[in-house]
Amino acid sequence: MIQKVTLNIAGKDLILETGRIAKQANGSVFAQYAGSAVIATVCTSSETVEGLDYVPLTVDYNEKYYAAGKIPGGFIKRESRPKDKEILVSRLIDRPMRPLFDKNFGREIQLVPTTLSTDQVNTPDILAIIASSAAVHISDIPFNGPIAGVRICQVNGELVVNPTYDQIENSTLEIVVAGTKDGITMVEGGAKEVSEELMIEALDKAHGMIKEFCALQDRLREAAGKPKLPLNTLSYTLDNKDAIRSGAYPKLEAACFLPTKQERHDGIRAVKKEFEEKHEAQLQDEKQKKLFGVLFEDMQYEILRSSILNNGKRVDGRALEDIRNITCETGILQRTHGSALFTRGETQSLVVTTLGTVFDEQIYDDIEGDKRENFMLHYNFPPYSVGETGRLGTGRREIGHGNLAQRSLKAVVPSKDDFPYTVRVVSEIMESNGSSSMASVCGGTLSMLHAGVPLKKPVAGIAMGLITEGKAGPGDRFAVLSDILGEEDHLGDMDFKVAGTCDGITGFQMDIKIAGVSPEIMRKALEQAKRGRMHILSIMNQCIDRPAEQISEYAPKIVTVRIDIDKIGALIGPGGKNIKALCEQYSVKINTEDDGTVTIFGKNTKDAENAKIAVMGIASDPEVGRVYEGVVKRIMDFGAFVEILPGKEGLVHISRLSRQRIAQVTDVIKEGQQIPVKLYEIDKMGRLNLSYIDAIDPDGASDDSGKSGRREDRPRNDRGPRR
């Protein structure tokens, strides 16, 4: 039976429907808003596993090109591996939903939201978040939801809910917020130096809409919800639990507060091994061994949190707002265009900037339409950064962290008009123990400044954490942590990354593992993050605070000029003949834009400047009195035709080739020779009459007629017929 619920938003209906499509899935919801449509399905395996310490959830958001009436570009005309955007949207769905599944369910869960239609006006990702939650909510899979997502933008000073693509493009703030009716659980977005107060206002507005979307899903569940499957709760307990805990707790507590990450890791492993050997017979049972591991995890959780809440002491000995030691270096690599090494405690990022041309821009072909990007940031997290072995590659983590760092820096990267280079920044994580994405932001700033990129302002980033008592409700104790460690991220309640300049926020990402955070916590976290950001910026500025005066000698040289639009055709020539000839002659690449902007890319400044002169010559009309470097194209008995601009030839009469009478033109010049000529006349028929400068007017000082004005100075050949 088909069931529908509807909510009107900005004059259009959001429709959630079930019972018509994909009925064999555990849950499916077909969501529509204006011209966009998403089908979200969820399925679970039939086999259960006891004692899982994680939720085996996969989210595979995918977009079909037919949704926008397009056929995929390239040789393969079908959708294949996930694009970066699909991975990023999958993460937007996964992160707020994962904490709401119970580990005791013990079954694999696969969520597949698919964009089937898009009007290219309204974004389908928010629709996918809502449809995904609704599919799980009405299914038989246990879920402590629903959740909902909403996008908030500031456009022309106003906060807009679920803006269009055009509004997003012109916004100064863009965030995607997800949460339950009780609170916000995820925030991700970018901005152009907005204030902390505006962020809080946007979050409040977002949560109001989230409540409405959750209520809509509750209505659908009331009409079409299935009974929930039972949890696979453990039927056994750990033997000797109290004895193991009482013996191990004090030793584990000492190990948890050793100075470095490696020392803590080794110390905890030694304590665990000691008690594994002591209870070896008991732990032959795999179930007992698994519960033994859970007990040690629980003890670490308790030790870390109680120390912070009761003593204000963190595992590395810092106070709540203390930031680890920071060092900044630039010019680490000699042949790259820009490089920097940013180290904060045990997190280290080597960041390299490469300057390219317009031909190096990233081209995106997706259902939103083709677009180009001249700023890229790529993030690599090799296994050696945490002292482990593993495969090298680009996974969802790398794409997500790189996207956050790129968005944080994009607000200060100069426009293409101001800096006509394509900029690629690569962050290689050399060590990691807490927020390598924010280290990438700091290192990215240093590296681009070293490369000579005229950033509007330096950007720094910091990761904040949260430890709460109870449910973080009114009166419950909480502690906000600055510059969190990996352990504090893993065992804490929040990971909140904030990047920005001295004047405002440019990027942020927040994941919350509890039901939600209060406005009081959010306000304190943002204020504390700002203080930390200012501290980091002050250290970075001591290293480098302005772009290098000269870009690297190994970077391409770029010259930009603007010509009349009606001259573009002349520059390009028939079949690209003229522009190809220029590129070959001067060893450059030339790109033209529809607005008349011409960009010249050369390996050195001389080639680029010479090509610029040639381009301006083509784009300019011949001027009487101007001297040109021309090429002799054809020699006739009465003179020579010389090309002064591509496709524009003039005649040098034999009488204007020499001060002396000559018998043949070839006595003075040869075909293919480059000679300086002066345009002294454009006749009534538009023909160009030229003088050979070296012979007729060595100083280029003659009048517009090309004659000196004194009869005795004229060459004999130039005199008129005798009467």
List CB contacts of 436: < 8 A, sequence separation 6 or more: 347, 349, 379, 381, 385, 401, 427, 429
**Into which CATH architecture does domain 326-543 fall?**
2-Layer Sandwich (3.30)
**Into which CATH architecture does domain 241-311 fall?**
Orthogonal Bundle (1.10)
Residue 628 has what pLDDT?
A: 85
Of the candidates 307, 364, 555, the one whose C-alpha atom is nearest the C-alpha of residue 451 is: 555
CATH fold, domain 3-224, is Ribosomal Protein S5; domain 2 (3.30.230)
Residue 678 has what pLDDT?
A: 92
12 vs 335: CA distance, rounded Å: 56
Tell me the CATH number for domain 556-620. 3.30.1370.10
Residues of the chain with pLDDT below 50 are 698-723
Whether 436 and 484 have beta carbons less than 8 Å apart is answered as no
| 192-to-186, 377, 406, 443, 461 alpha-carbon distances in Å | 20, 18, 13, 20, 14
Domain 3-224 and domain 326-543, same fold? Reply is yes
Cα distance between the two ends of the chain: 112
Buried b / exposed e along 472-487 (16+ C-beta atoms within 10 A): beeeeebbbbbbbbbb
CB-neighbour burial class of residue 720 (10 A; exposed 0-12, middle 13-18, buried 19+) = exposed
- Tokens for 145, please give them: 């939801």
Residue 585 has what pLDDT?
A: 86
Tell me the CATH number for domain 623-723. 2.40.50.140
- Tokens for 96, please give them: 């707020």
341 vs 262: CA distance, rounded Å: 22
| Residue whose token pair is 């899982």 | 52
478 vs 200: CA distance, rounded Å: 19
Domain residue extents for the chain: 3-224, 241-311, 326-543, 556-620, 623-723
Whether 647 and 598 have beta carbons less than 8 Å apart is answered as no
Residue 474 has what pLDDT?
A: 57
Residue 384 has what pLDDT?
A: 93
pTM over 0.85: no
Q: What is the residue-wise DSSP string for 669-699?
A: --TT-EEEEEEEEE-TT--EEEEEHHHH-TT
Strands 62-63 and 109-117: parallel
Per-residue pLDDT of 87-121, as tens digits, reads: 999 999 999 999 999 998 999 999 999 999 999 89
Q: Any idea what DSSP says for residue 122? A: B
Per-residue pLDDT of 184-224, as tens digits, reads: 989 999 999 999 999 999 999 999 999 999 999 999 999 99
Residue 237 has what pLDDT?
A: 87
Residue 17 has what pLDDT?
A: 97
| Residue whose token pair is 């949890």 | 231
